[in-house]
C-alpha cells in the first residue's frame, strides 16, 4: 500500500522526521539539506532549534506531519526556505517577504556596512536623510534606520505590493514614524536633498536570468533582478537622478553584481560624482558596494 505523500511524517518522532526530511532534501540535491530540514521542521512545529533539540523523542501530531510534508514538497520543488516561511533575517532583523520582494541576501549587508562607515566619517549637524531606491521588503533602509537614531528615510519601488510589505516591516520594527514609502520609478517622485542614497537595483543581464538557480529564477520577482541587455539599465537611470538629489557631500551607495563595480564607478563619475574610496567587498571577496560622493560646496 502506498502512503499518501502527506502521511510520510505521520507518527514519527521529531528526530526521525528530521532525519527523513534531511535525507529527502539531500536526494533532491538541495544544497543545505541538513540546515533546511531543521528550519522547516521548526517552522512546521512552531519551535526554534533549541526547542527541537529539547523534544527529539516527541511524536509529531497529524497537523504537524502534514504541514511538514507540505514544506518538504515546496522545498523539493525549488522554493527557497525564506519563501516557505515568508520571512528572512537581514542585519539581525526579521523581514516579512512577499512575492514582489527579493529575498534579502547576506551580500547586501555590505551596502549597509559601507553606508554606516561613510556616515560615521561625516559630521552631520542633523540625523541623516536617506533614500532607498527599489526598496523591496525595505531591508536596506530599515536596517539603516534601526542603527541610526533619529534618521529619516524614504523607500521607493515600482511595486505597490512591495511597498505594502516594506510598510508592514517598518511598523513591525517600530520604524514607521521615521520612514515613508513611495511608488515611483527610481527617484522620480523624490525631491531631496538626501545625505545618503542607497540601492540594490536589478542588475542581472536579461539573458542570464534563465541560467540562475531555480530558487532565484522562479521565486524572486524578475522586476528586482532584470537589469536589461547588459545589466546596467537601472544604474544608468538611477545614478544621474541620485546625483541631482544628493546634498553637497552626500553619498550614493549601490550594490554591484559580480564584475560590475568598475563600470558603475564610470557611470558615477560621468554624473559628476566623486569616487573617493574603493568598493567594499562582500564575504566572498566580491566588490559589492560601490560608492561616490557629491562634491561639497
Ligand atoms: N543578488 C541577486 C542575485 O544574485 C540579484 C539581485 C539584483 O539583481 N539586485 O540573484
pLDDT at 2: 47
Spatial neighbors of 166 by CB under 8 A, at least 6 apart, are: 101, 135, 136, 137, 138, 141, 142, 155, 157, 181
Considering the domain architecture, whether residues 255 and 237 belong to the same structural domain is answered as yes
Considering the domain architecture, whether residues 48 and 95 belong to the same structural domain is answered as no
DSSP 294: P
User: 7 lies in which domain range?
Assistant: 2-77
Q: Is residue 23 situated within a structural domain?
A: yes
Closest by CA to 61, choosing from 23, 98, 11, is 11
Considering the domain architecture, whether residues 108 and 204 belong to the same structural domain is answered as yes
pLDDT at 63: 94
Q: CATH code at 71?
A: 1.10.8
Considering the domain architecture, whether residues 171 and 201 belong to the same structural domain is answered as yes
- Rounded to whole angstroms, how far apart are CA atoms 197 and 155? 10
> What tens digit of pLDDT does each residue of 231-249 get?
999 999 999 999 999 999 9
16 C-alpha to ligand 1 centroid (Å): 36
CA nearest ligand 1 atom 5, residue: 225
Number of domains into which the chain is organized: 2
Q: Which three cell numbers stand for residue 3?
A: 502512503
DSSP H or E stretch at residue 93: strand 93-96
- CB distance 203 to 232 below 8 Å: yes
Helix%, strand%, coil% for the chain, nearest 5 = 45, 20, 35
Q: What is the largest CA-CA distance in the chain?
A: 79
- Position 9 pLDDT exceeds 60: yes
Considering the domain architecture, whether residues 237 and 173 belong to the same structural domain is answered as yes
Distances (CA, A) of 67 to 9, 56, 60, 72, 86: 10, 18, 10, 9, 15
- Rounded to whole angstroms, how far apart are CA atoms 176 and 183? 17
Considering the domain architecture, whether residues 71 and 125 belong to the same structural domain is answered as no
DSSP 122: S
As a whole-number percent, the residues of the chain with pLDDT over 90 amount to: 94
Residues with CB under 6 A from ligand 1: 102, 105, 200-204, 212, 216, 225, 255
Considering the domain architecture, whether residues 130 and 70 belong to the same structural domain is answered as no
Closest by CA to 268, choosing from 242, 289, 297, 233, is 242
**What are 291's strand-pairing partners?**
253
119 C-alpha to ligand 1 centroid (Å): 25
Domain final position from 59, 77, 95: 77
Considering the domain architecture, whether residues 109 and 48 belong to the same structural domain is answered as no
Distances (CA, A) of 294 to 100, 124, 181, 223, 246: 32, 15, 24, 28, 7
pLDDT at 4: 55
Considering the domain architecture, whether residues 51 and 191 belong to the same structural domain is answered as no
Indicate the pTM of the whole model.
0.94
Considering the domain architecture, whether residues 93 and 73 belong to the same structural domain is answered as no
Considering the domain architecture, whether residues 237 and 271 belong to the same structural domain is answered as yes
Q: Residue 125: which pLDDT band, with cuts at 50, 70 and 90?
A: confident
Q: CATH code at 100?
A: 3.40.50.150
> What tens digit of pLDDT does each residue of 29-46 get?
999 999 999 999 999 999
Q: Is residue 111 situated within a structural domain?
A: yes
Q: Is residue 122 situated within a structural domain?
A: yes
Mutation pick for ligand 1 pocket among 83, 88, 255, 261 (CB with most ligand atoms within 8 Å): 255
Domain final position from 44, 77, 110: 77
1 C-alpha to ligand 1 centroid (Å): 45
Q: Is residue 82 situated within a structural domain?
A: no
Sign of CA dihedral 148, 149, 151, 153: positive
Domain final position from 25, 44, 77: 77
- Rounded to whole angstroms, how far apart are CA atoms 108 and 114? 10
| Arithmetic mean of pLDDT, 164-182 | 98
Amino acid at each position: 500500500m502506498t502512503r499518501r505523500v502527506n502521511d510520510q511524517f505521520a507518527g514519527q518522532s521529531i528526530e526521525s522526521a528530521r532525519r527523513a526530511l534531511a535525507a529527502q532534501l539531500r536526494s533532491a540535491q538541495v544544497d543545505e539539506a541538513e540546515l533546511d530540514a531543521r528550519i522547516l521542521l521548526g517552522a512546521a512545529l512552531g519551535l526554534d532549534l533549541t526547542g527541537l533539540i529539547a523534544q527529539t523523542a516527541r511524536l509529531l501530531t497529524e497537523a504537524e506531519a502534514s504541514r511538514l510534508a507540505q514544506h518538504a514538497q515546496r522545498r523539493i520543488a525549488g522554493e527557497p526556505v525564506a519563501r516557505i516561511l515568508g520571512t528572512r533575517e537581514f542585519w539581525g532583523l526579521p523581514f516579512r517577504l512577499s512575492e514582489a520582494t527579493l529575498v534579502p541576501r547576506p551580500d547586501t549587508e555590505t551596502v549597509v556596512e559601507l553606508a554606516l562607515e561613510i556616515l560615521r566619517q561625516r559630521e552631520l549637524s542633523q540625523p541623516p536623510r536617506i533614500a532607498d531606491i527599489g526598496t523591496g521588503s525595505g531591508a536596506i533602509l530599515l536596517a539603516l534606520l534601526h542603527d541610526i537614531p533619529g534618521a529619516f528615510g524614504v523607500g521607493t519601488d515600482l511595486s505597490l505590493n512591495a511597498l505594502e510589505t516594506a510598510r508592514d516591516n517598518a511598523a513591525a520594527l517600530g520604524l514607521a514614524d521615521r520612514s515613508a514609502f513611495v511608488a515611483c520609478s527610481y527617484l522620480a517622485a523624490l525631491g531631496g536633498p538626501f545625505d545618503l542614497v542607497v540601492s540594490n537595483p536589478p542588475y542581472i543581464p536579461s539573458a542570464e536570468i534563465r541560467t540562475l538557480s531555480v530558487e532565484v529564477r522562479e521565486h524572486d520577482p524578475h522586476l528586482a533582478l532584470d537589469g536589461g541587455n547588459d545589466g546596467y539599465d537601472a544604474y544608468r537611470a538611477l545614478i544621474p537622478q541620485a546625483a541631482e538629489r544628493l546634498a553637497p557631500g552626500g553619498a550614493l551607495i549601490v550594490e554591484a553584481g559580480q564584475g560590475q563595480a568598475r563600470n558603475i564607478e564610470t557611470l558615477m563619475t560621468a554624473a559628476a560624482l566623486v569616487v573617493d574610496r574603493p568598493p567594499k567587498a562582500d564575504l566572498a571577496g566580491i566588490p559589492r558596494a560601490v560608492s561616490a560622493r557629491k562634491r561639497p560646496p
